[in-house]
Structure 1
């Protein structure tokens, strides 16, 4: 098996050879690992050179600069979140102070003025019903006890004819 040299593979990579020789070299690449390595090293070298010429020399610096600006924006956002949470705490403290001021000035006394009256009325009606119910049963028990004391025990057990 004859191997192709570096210059021939370079011409193949640049597509400068005729069609017949190109087909022969492709078939040889399938069978020969050494030539395949040579061809791949040529392609890598040319592709890297092409990419280097396309990429700006300041590319890495530009990327790093953008990363730094992103970090600054992220830190600003986290500072805003901390500030927002401290603002919320401040709002709660202010609301609590205003509520205490309203309590001490008696503003809420007028709001709750009608509620205790209705509650007292409900409690009173329930209580009077309980008193009526318990009073009736107590009177009945008292009457039975009075009847028992008035009658003689012997009369109760006598046969009635």
Structure 2
């Protein structure tokens, strides 16, 4: 972690640095106790040249009022801004439902299902081997048919 010198913090307090350096110093100040100590020392040395607040509580109230105004300005456009109908979620669902109904009733899905079954069907050049279950069922029916024939011959 890079630490900043006392002179750098003094320049920060005197507002003699550029915005990029200011952001870097402020970001570092949150995570470094050693630099916080240098900053507080620079602040106490340069304290006499800082503006004096006549009424600290009214200053705090003014700052809090400004923050509230900023929050209102930021949130109002989000709340009051109405999107056009074509940017609303319900409009998109309506279009999707209409497209689905159109494709269903026009037979597009049926033709896709037919095409998919044709693609899935095995090639005629290959021998189609029945499953074991089908073979067992066929043999069972053949056995039952032979029993019926024997009973009929008696």
Q: Same fold (TM over 0.5)?
A: no
TM-score by length of 1: 0.37
Q: Which has the larger radius of gyration?
A: 1
TM-score by length of 2: 0.39
